[in-house]
Amino acid sequence: MAAGGSGWAAVCEKFRTARTLSVVESRKDPETEPYRSKYSARALLQEVKQLLSAAEEGGEAQLLAVRRAVLEYELGVNHTDTDELSAGEEHLQRCTQLLEPHRLSPDCVSLYIQAQNNLGILWSERDEIKTAQTYLESAEALYNRYMKEDGNPPLDPSEHFMAEEEKLTDQERSKRFEKAYTHTLYYLAQVYQHLEMTEKAAQYCHTTLKRQLEYCGYYPVEWALNAATLSLYYLSKQCFMEARHCLAAANVIFSQAGQVPSAEDNETEQDQQDLRKRKAEIARCWIKYCLNLLQSARKLLEDNIGELDPDRQLELKAQRKKEEDEKEKGRKKAVLFGTSDICDSVLAMEEKVSSVYPLDFQEAREIFLVGQNYVQEAKEFFQVDGYVTDHIEIVQDHSALFKVLAFFEEDYERRCKMHKRRIDMLEPLYGVLNPQYYLLISRQLQFELADTYYEMMDLKVAIGNRLEELDSHTVKKINSLAQLAIKYYELFLDSLRNPHKVFPEKLEEHVLRPAMVAKFHIARLYGKLITSDSKKQLENMQTSLEYYTFLVDYCEKYPDAVRDVETELELSKEMVGLLPTRMERLRAKLCPFI
Amino acid sequence: SVEGDAIKVYVRVRPPSEGTALTDGDQGLCLSVLSSHTIRLHSKPEPKIFTFDCVANMETTQESVFSSVAKNIVESCMNGYNGTIFAYGQTGSGKTFTMMGPSDSDNFTHSLRGVIPRSFEYLFFLIEREKEKAGSGKSFLCKCSFIEIYNEQIFDLLDSASAGLFLREHIKKGVFVDGAVEQVLSSAAEAYQVLTMGWRNRRVASTSMNRESSRSHAVFTITVESMEKNNEIVNIRSSLLNLVDLAGSERQKDTHTEGLRLKEAGNINRSLSCLGQVITALVDVGNGKQRHICYRDSKLTFLLRDSLGGNAKTCIIANVHPGSRCFGETLSTLNFAQRAKLIKNKAVVNEDTQGNVS
């Protein structure tokens, strides 16, 4: 292989200098001359190319072709790096042409794949993602074919300009080759995402993450965060087993991060802070996992009035028994992260929480508790002082966890207590929140508080209905809960008013439904207020009627609104028909002599 | 009057730089202003018409820009609303001229001074007028800060020694830059002094630390606090006025405006740091499901969250250069401005009643 003694050594030296200029020195270039080192590197590469042409006679054809291809590759990358796409494309094309006949040989395969990766990037920069796709997919195919037919660690492109004694070990060769292929997959993930092939893109993201782990090409924190984010994709597809796997792996890999001591001590505090934040972010993904799992289970189990359907519960339990064995098989097919020891830790992590739908209170509670633990963990970092939005979002999730757990609780009194817990966590926050800066969250809190009081009132009514007679304590409780619900709905509606306190003629799209629901609920609440004073009762009915009428009139004026509030509108219409007669009857009772 | 809370978008066309008009002639222009609301971009094959709240042609004066963009926002600021004025556009499209005025003068009285000095004048004029009207019952406190966002890091332009400040949130005060110097202002001239001093820091930074101003966003914030005593009840109102000079739009390749480019994996030692963003994009497709996105928006959007679809009166001045060589940038600026119009704002008066004092 030694082509021409000392002359060859000089060529190699030039090539190496060019590489260093391009990769290391160029990062220090001044802003005014951003490409200075790249241009110097380019000049050197051109020289090397000249020297190679001179040596053309006599050399071995394939060897020469490959060396020239390496230079074309380097020149191609150099030109694209310096915003000269067309020239870059020419060089890269020439590189692949030179390699075409030998692309499956261990000398060429890695270079060929990298050239195609770069052509992929180049075409995406021209906004031609389909063309980029063809290059990257062909790189992928070549890798697969090579691994099937040969599989030995191929030469790294840089080795073509190295002296024999400097050549890389097989292990290093394999590492670099796999890295180039990982890049192919990473680019493909982006291509598929741009082409809106979501599922495929997710799959390639997953594989990229997996390969990063296998070949140790990752920063633990970043990897963990990426895996946690991927879990959210699986959540949106209701794939809880995959989501849990991603999160468990995120936890395991994240724990490696703290063990690596930071090089610069002066940055440690900042690093620690950052680390704590990332940990809290992952905890928040876990909260979403628990919440989604519980909420999906609730959807499966609820009847048409939103209560737990016991028949459905039995049916699902039977079904689950049957499926359990098959699940085990399915799991083996999923792409799992990590090699032996990491894999064991991930599995251990997974065992701490179920990934199947909870079907009764006990099962729901276990998931709830896991979620609640992560709420505490997330709140440790995202404290209200400094992280208002994040903190409140976490508390809202906590409240949502209680809400869905309450669905599984059969005892009404205990259920009511769970809702009270929600009030206790939300109300103090709402009290201090400044709507000038947090209008949206403020509205969300108003609405959620109103809804919670509304739900509690409903429960108290249900409890009351079981009693022989409504005692004064229960009546008082029902009325006060109803009043509080009304208060928060009104606060929400007030937040929609303009600075001159006028309620908008036409509601904006994003508040239409909540505003209408608020009006509807207030109407119902006035209907539920209990009083022995008939005059007062008449007044409440009148108010109730006004709110129902608002809904009916609004929908008449803006028919677009109808599809958002179909059920509510139907009931309102009914009430607008009924209430006046009822009120008439009540009035007649009040003044029997007229 | 009940006006919409949508972000107002104002497009200003600068005159072509001297020399280019002569050589390029009329054919050298890539757009024409059709009316005070519409602009036509000479794209091929079909010209494209854009409609905005206001379009200012090359002859528009600084005074008229101020009146139609900032006057209203400064007024609402006096009434307890937050207000934000953005300048957006390619480097060289006239952002600094529009906001500050001619670059070679620190002169606060220059006839070509920009929106910012004029806003100062107007704000303090209004404050004085209020004070006279209300007598001793009402008092004002104005403070300002001036920060720069470069490479996702926050620098305090009023304290060139500091580096790397952080954004935090306060449950009463909203988002703020922790540790940023706040200077009390008593007059427009003082405000302008602080601004020019900070602006100079920005330029100094551009040579000593190797960055150029057009790659950074500069945010000048005035806090106006008014206190009114009325029958032993103290009424405090506070509001923010943000004046923002965005980085040149051509530098914002990593924001949402970006097209289809693939993010590169970079050199050997770097990991694939953008993978998370790819995944985030996937999750965004997920419909209404509970999710938490770990990768947050940029520092700038976080700081100005209230101004973008939040709780403030906001105006964007999109500056464009009419030269045909700038066609691509102009198109993307106009597209950005068009999208910005869709963002809805809702302004709410902040009245914080602090009980009895006696």
DSSP letter for each residue of A32-97: TSTTHHHHHHHHHHHHHHHHHHHTTTTS-HHHHHHHHHHHHHHHHHHHHHTT-HHHHHHHHHHHHH
Range list of H helices, A433-504: 439-466, 472-494
Element (H, E) at B55: strand B54-56
Separation CA A127–CA B332 (nearest Å): 15
- A499:B82 CB<8 A: no
Q: Which residues of A touch B269 (CB under 8 A)?
A: none
- The ipTM value here is 0.80
Tell me which residue of A507, A526, A525 sits closest to A565, measured CA to CA: A507
3-state secondary structure (DSSP) of residue B317: strand
- Residues of B within 8 A of A175 (CB-CB) are none
A28 pLDDT band, cuts 50/70/90, is confident
Lowest mean pLDDT segment, chosen from A459-463, A488-492, A585-589: A585-589
Interface test with A, best of B273, B277, B291, B303 (most A CBs within 10 A): B291
> A36 — contact with chain B (CB < 8 Å)?
no
**What is the pLDDT at residue A569?**
92
Task: Kindly report the nearest CA distance between residue A320 and chain B, in angstroms.
Answer: 24
A439 touches chain B (CB under 8 A): yes
User: Residue ranges per domain, chain A?
Assistant: 8-218, 411-501, 504-593
**Could you give the C-alpha distances from B62 to A588, B110, B114, B154, in angstroms and in order?**
72, 11, 6, 30
User: What is the rounded average pLDDT of the residues B215-234?
Assistant: 84
Task: Give per-residue pLDDT as tens, A49-80.
Answer: 888 877 665 567 788 889 999 999 999 999 98
Residues 6 or more apart whose CB falls under 8 angstroms from that of B41 comprise: B30, B31, B47, B48, B49, B50, B327, B330, B331, B334
Q: Does B262 touch chain A (CB under 8 A)?
A: yes
Q: What pLDDT score does B358 carry? A: 27
A584 touches chain B (CB under 8 A): no
Q: How far apart are CA B217 and CA B244, in angstroms?
A: 7
Q: What is the predicted pLDDT for the residue at B269?
A: 35
Q: Which of B153, B282, B302, B313 to mutate to test the interface with A (most CBs of A within 10 A)?
A: B282
Mean pLDDT calculated for residue range A286-297 = 95
A343 Cβ contact list (under 8 Å, min separation 6):
A336, A337
Q: Cβ contact (<8 Å) for B271 and A432?
A: no
From A121-125, A207-211, B16-20, B52-56, the region with the lowest mean pLDDT: B16-20
Q: A293 in contact with B at a CB cutoff of 8 Å?
A: no
Confidence of residue B329 (pLDDT cuts 50, 70, 90): confident
Q: How many Å apart are CA B168 and CA A273, to the nearest integer?
A: 14
Q: What is the pLDDT of residues B178-199, one digit of tens each?
A: 999 999 999 998 998 898 888 8
Mean pLDDT calculated for residue range A275-301:
94
B203 CB near a chain A CB, below 8 Å?
A: no
Contact B311 A439 (CB under 8 A): yes
By the CB < 8 Å criterion, does A191 face chain B?
Answer: yes
pLDDT tops 70 at residue A123:
yes
- Quick one: average pLDDT of B281-300? 67
Q: State pLDDT tens for residues A350-375.
A: 999 999 999 999 999 999 999 999 99
Distances (CA, A) of A156 to A70, A114, A169, A507: 10, 10, 10, 64
Nearest to A92 by CA among A61, A113, A64: A113
Would you give the DSSP letter of residue B106?
Answer: -
Instruction: Count CA atoms within 13 Å of residue A590 on its CB side.
Output: 14
Bridge-based pairing of strands B166-170 and B138-150 is unpaired
Give the pLDDT score at B41: 85
Q: Report residue B310's pLDDT band, with 50, 70 and 90 as the boundaries.
A: low
The dihedral sign for the CA sequence A145, A150, A152, A153: negative
Predicted TM-score (pTM) of this structure: 0.86
Cβ–Cβ below 8 Å for A436 and B171: no
Residue B302 contacts A where some CB pair is shorter than 8 Å: no
pLDDT at A588 over 60: yes
Put simply, the chain A residues between 3 and 32 with a CB less than 8 A from any chain B CB are 23, 30-31
A-chain residues near B210 (CB < 8 A): 30-31
Residue A164 CA: distances (Å) to CA of A3, A74, A170, A297: 11, 21, 14, 64
CA A387 – CA B167 distance, rounded (Å): 9
Set of chain B residues whose Cβ sits within 8 Å of the Cβ of A212: 271-272
What pLDDT does residue B350 have? 46
How confident is the model at residue B36, as a pLDDT? Answer: 86
Which among B2, B291, B349 has CB closest to A232? B291
Residue B159 has pLDDT above 50, yes or no: yes
> Chain B: nearest CA to A189, how far in angstroms?
8
Report CA A188 to chain centroid distance, whole Å. 20
Residues on chain B touching A295 (C-beta within 8 angstroms): 290
A8-218: CATH architecture? Alpha Horseshoe (1.25)
Report the pLDDT value the prediction gives residue A85, as an integer from 0 to 100. 87
Q: Give whichever of A411-415, B289-293, B324-328 has the largest mean pLDDT.
A: A411-415
The 8-class DSSP code of residue A526 comes to H
Which residue reads 């009940």 in tokens?
Answer: B2
Q: What is the per-residue pLDDT for A331?
A: 60
Interacting residues of A10 by C-beta distance below 8 A, sequence separation 6+: none
CB pairs under 8 A between A and B: 177
Q: Determine the distance in angstroms separating the CA of B20 from the nearest CA of chain A, rounded to an integer.
A: 25
Evaluate whether B323 touches B30 at the Cβ level (below 8 Å).
yes
Phi, psi of A46 (to 5 degrees): -60, -40
Burial class of residue A139 (count of CB atoms within 10 Å of its CB; 0-12, 13-18, 19+):
buried
Amino acid B354: pLDDT: 36
| Any A CB within 8 A of B82 CB | yes
H or E stretch covering B273: none
C-alpha to C-alpha distance for A82 and B270, rounded to whole angstroms: 20
| Contact with chain B for residue A175, Cβ under 8 A | no
Alpha helices in A495-533 (DSSP H): 509-528
Rounded to whole angstroms, the Cα distance separating B116 from B304 reads 18
Q: Do B290 and A387 touch (CB under 8 A)?
A: no
